[in-house]
Each structure stands twice: as C-alpha cells, then as structure tokens.
Structure 1
Amino acid sequence: MLYRYGKDEKGRPVKKAVVYTKDEHCIPLYKIDPDALRIVQRLKDNGFTAYIVGGAVRDLLVGRAPKDFDIVTDATPSKIKRIFRNSRIIGRRFRLVHVIFGLKIFEVSTFRSNADGSVGNDFGTIDEDVLRRDFTINALYYDPLQEHVIDYVGGVRDIKKGLLRPVISIDTIFVEDPVRMLRAIKYSSTTGCQMSWALRHKIRNSAHLLGPVSPSRLTEEMHKIINSGHSFEIVSECLKTDLYMALQPAATAMMYADRNFETNYFQHLKELDELVSKDKDVRLGKKLVYLLKDFILTLTDWQKEILTESSVGELYVKTWTECRNFVLPMNPQRTELEFAIRTCLREIGVSIRIPKKNVITAKDENESKPEAAAVSPKKKSRKRKHHKPLDNKSTLREIKNTATDAESIKR
C-alpha cells in the first residue's frame, strides 16, 4: 500500500491519501472505455494530471459496468478545448467540457475549490476537489495509466464494509444540494452500501428541501430511478423517507389513500426492473407503462364506457391530460408518454388510431422509433386535390379527428 503526502500548516509532511495498486484494487483495465483512456493519455501528454472519477470508480470496485466515465483534470476548460477538437464547453456558472466520440459523450471537469462550500464555482486542486464530493464511495480517483486508485476519504474501506458515508458535513450536505438525498437512496439501493440511522433520519427531516428543486432536475433523477433496474428498492426507501412526494406527488397520495393501488404500483415496479435487466436500452415509453397502468384504470369504468369513433378521441385527450398531470413534476418526451398511454389503453381493449394523413407514425408502434412530426397544412391541402370529394359523413368525421389531434398537439 502506498501513500500520497502533503504538508500541514507548519510545512511538515502528512499523509493525504491512500494509493491502492492494481493488485489491491483488482480493477481490470479492459473494463475501462478505450476512449476514456485516450482522453486521460492526451491530457497527460500535454502536461496535465487526469483521473477517472466518481461513480465509474465506485462501480468498477463493486464489480459493475459503469454507464459513464467522468474525468477530472487540472486543465482549464479552454485548454481542454484546445486539446480536443471533438469537444464543446458547456455550463454558465462552472464550465465543463464534453468530449465526443461518436455517440459517446465524456464529461471532463476541472478540479474545483471548496472555498465557497461544496457548490462553489472556482477552480482548485485535487485536495480541495475531493472535499466537494457527496459520499466517500464517489470520492475516488483512478489513474488508468498507472492503475492506481487514490483515496483521500476512506471510500475503498467503506465499499468493503458496505457503508454509505457523507464526505460533506451532515448539517450542510443536503442544504447545499437537496438532490443529494435522492442520490443517497439510489446509491444505497444499487451498491448495497447501507445508510446509518443518523443519515436516514437527516434525510427524512430534510425532505421538504426538495420542494424548490427545478422540475428538470427531478425529471433527470426520476429517469435514473426507472432506468436503474432497482426502482422497487429505491421507491420503497423514498416513501419511507418522505422523498417520493416530491418526485411523484400524485402517485404518493394515491398509495397513501388506497392500499391496493400501492400493492399494484410496487408489483409493476418489480416488472419494470425485470424489463430493464433484460434490455437496458428499451424505450422510455415502455417503462412509463408500468407507472401508468393502474392510474389509467381508475379514470373510468372502461368496460361500461360506450366508445364511439368521436368519443374515443375525446376520451383519449382527457386521458392524456390526466396522465400528464399524474407524472408531474416529471416531464417525459411527449411521444414517449403518448406511446405509454396508448399501450395501456390497448391492454384494456381500447384502440386509439391517429389518422395517417395528420401524423406520420413508425412502421410498428412496438418498435423503438418515436413518432414523426405532423404533416404541414400545405402538404395536406395539396394531397386533397388528388382525391375525390368527401361525402358529408366522411367530412364530419375528418373534422372531428383533426380537431382532436389539434387539441392533443396543443396540449
């Protein structure tokens, strides 16, 4: 075992970090994305330090395949941009660089200072950067060229013990960024690292801090939950700690009011996890089906509903509106939400047909391609010139369908 040394206030050498060699951490190099290796190599070739950081290192240590390889360096964004032509700078307050290889995007950030707390925007050193990380298991740095894991905060030890421990003071960690509460639940469920009673108690008492968080951030976290393959465990813990009310208030209220709805909701989450475990790339619309199934059943007595050609369209618009409100503040892509609603309705025997002259759909609704945009009015008017005049009954039906589609698109 190696150590990284620094100096104290009097200039005396002190141990700063534990350095684990490849024989100690046992991370196989072939599990590292080759493009991530290229980024680290090129940064070092240009005189900078660079590490793979955060969740990727954590996942490699627990034997999981990382979804993303984030990289941290002492190079500033402008210098990173000059090194990589296939990159772009993003962000306003604190700039990051996205390095693009085909369909893959690697986030490269500069070490940050903790002078203004864990949410400051000034550049700093690795010694400062590590103190901004949320939990010890995410505060590990991996040098793939030397195959060293640098551990400033005991993250490797906590992974071995199965412990989720915050780096930042428990009194400020959630005040500075309330979304960390959701991440704590997610990390605990996906890695098997247990939260202490004090940490769980703090999360429950701080749940109200999620109220002002933007819908876009909550949507991102909800997407991560349903894509995790552990949604059952995560949602269960979110309910126990009062966090799910911020993520899905309508569903939470219905679960509190109806035990059967709660039972069915969690059964569908188990089915969702099975689906994701079999196919991680399945389209979002298919995943949303499991959140909407039982809610749609509560909207009306579908077996007794008399569905004429015109009433189906009206009922679909109302159903879409109710489902849109049900999943708030999550804001999924419209085509994916529509796919999920039509799938649920089809399962209970209600078929929704969108006229082909107004919407170009994928060849098969079960395919993963989203629907194309509506045909422009100019194209529709030209197309009508080549058809025979419609009778009154057909014209009335077309007007109703067009109005229904227009209202749906407007909403």
Structure 2
Amino acid sequence: MPQLPSIDEARATLLAVVRPLEPTNVAVNDALGLVLAEDVSAAHDVPAFANSAMDGFAVRAGQAGQRLRISGESRAGAPYDQTIVDGEAVRISTGAALPAGADGVLQIELVELDGDEAVTLTEAVEPGRNVRDPGTDLRAGAVVLRAGTRIGPAELGVAIGAGRQGVLAAPRPRVAIVTTGDELVEAGAPLQPGQIHDSNGPTLAGLAARAGAEVVGRGHAVDDPEATRAVIAEALDVADVLVLAGGVSVGPHDHVKPALTDLGVEELLWRVALRPGKPTWLGHRGDQLVFGLPGNPVSAYVTFLLFARPALNALQGADATVPRTRATLAVAVPRHPDRDECVRVRRRADGSVEPTGPQGSHVLSSLLGAEALAIVPRGEGDLPAGSDVTLEPV
C-alpha cells in the first residue's frame, strides 16, 4: 500500500493549487478583518504638528519661579494663533498645537495660578518638555503596513491616521458548509433513537468566519446519492470554498466522493497520515477549493485547522500558515505506529504542555481549554515526558 502523505506534504499539495482572490478597493472603515493587498504609506507626519502631551501651560523655556501673563488658550482643534514672547504663557490642552514661540509645556499640577491673569512656574521648563514632535508616531512616506497584513483594530487606526480613505484588500472568501448523514438533526431538536445534534455545521462555520471568510451557506445532505449531489451542486454555485463534513470514507452510505467527481471536482488527495483525520479528502474545481473532512467532530475541527485555515489565508494573500512553536511534554503520550497525531494540549505554569483529557475523535470536549495541537510524531511506544513537540495554534 502506498505511504500516505504527512500533514505538511498534504498541505503543500493543497496550497500549490490555491490562487489568491482578486483584490478590490475597500473603504477603510469597512476593512476590518480583511487582508491588505498593498503596502500602506503615511501621507503625512503623524502627528502633523508639535502638540502638548499634558494639560497645562505652553511657555518659553526658563527657570522656576517665573510669573507669566496668561495671553490666551490653545485647544485641540482651535490653536492659539499668535506667537508667545518672553513673559507670556498660553493655557493648553492635551493634543493641542504648541503655539509659535513656545518650546515646552508645564503641566497644570506644577503651576500656581493667579486667577485667570497670571501663572507662576514651580519647576524649570527645558526645551521639549511635554511636547510631542511632528512625526514621532508616523513619518511621511514611511511604509506603516505591509501587504499581507490582516487589518485588526490597531491596523485600522494606523491606516486612518496615515491618511487613507480606502485600501486595496482581498475580499472575504465565500465559504459554504455542508454536513452529511441521516443521523444529524438541528441544534435543540428532540433526539430520536440513533440521532445526534449537528455540531459540525455551526463549528466549522465559526472556524471559517474566524479565518476571515464569509459563510454564504450551510446545507445538510441525507444519505442519498441524488440528495447529496444536489446539495453539493447548490453549494458550489455560490462558494469559493466548499467544506464538507462526513461521507468521505468507503462505507455504503458515503456518497460525497462520487458526487464531487460527477460535478467536475478533481481529487488532489484522499487520506493523510494523521490521527484524527485520516480520511480527509482535498480537491478543487478550477479555482474553487473543496474539503471533504471526516464526520467525527474533533477530526473535522483538526483537519479544518490544518488544511482549510491555511488555504483561506492563502486565498486572502496572507501567510498561508500560522506560526508554529515548540514545547516540552509534561507527561508521556502514546504514539501511533503509522500516523502523526494531533493531541489537544493545555499549558502548565512551567510552560510544558499536557493533554486536555481523553483524545478520542468523538470527544469534542477535548477542545475545551486547548491552547494548541501538539503534533506527536508516529512511532512505537510512548513519546516520553520531556520530549519536544511542535505546536499548531488552535
């Protein structure tokens, strides 16, 4: 029997056919969560003018004990429009423009006020005290965000501060989720003998949304060839990516693979040297990507992270994979002789990792509290405590 591909080999086979989506111009206020398809440079210095870091008085540098006449006020958005001379002070608010002639600010707590007429400095003011110079945040012309960056709240603020009204960004990949099996019923529905609630549909939809996708449909196919084909065809009509859960094995009621073949979807690979998730099926129809994930809920979750998540990143022009880290095992972990295993782990206080509990592919609760998937390499016997393992983020 041919050797099954490893996780990384299967991922490489998949990513070789991924073509990033065509970027579009998006209003910056609508760009949260999107991935930049261009570098963003600052159109001007930020701040664009010298301003005060404190509420207080703008003055010319000088010694403590000076009594200065209050000649006006500089407020945020309403600068003082004259030049300060010796013997004068201007009341100033945080963020307000430093008046011409001033070179320092003494905060309100360090002055003695004589009504609204005068102020006495209780400390010396050296040049630059409590002053934010132009460009101390962003310099005009400097690249502040790189293409491939996902726009979070901080990136959004920086882009706006840099003067951008719009950005070039990849659209959200349109993802359809299809679950299969007569045994599945909707959340909360009464369970008849042999039935289970469909946790895969909402869970996979949540993972897709978290990866930056737009979930455009959720369908369910009963164990019937024609019904399965119809549901898949409908999903392929609207999606860039189709994620199926269940029906990809070799049982008499597994109708997904024949339906995909009939609909012109080309198989990239079927089965990976992985536990949980061996019967994973990966394919494409042109630029459309199709993931046939196992039906066991942990298997579906793990294989989505390992394969669908990097593909969604690549479609958006981001780094395909999230950075992996390393850690040591706090306890010995059994190994599979032929397959690498993704063990759901949590961190201990000393930084080592331990399994979250029973690791069966049906034990969805093993994902509760999981901070990573520890990739335990195949082999005989246990992987001893203290061994280094690679961690795939969850």
TM-score by length of 1: 0.26
Higher helix share: 1
Name which structure has the greater RCO, CA cutoff 8 Å, separation 6+.
Answer: 2
Q: Give the structure with the larger strand fraction.
A: 2
Higher Rg: 2
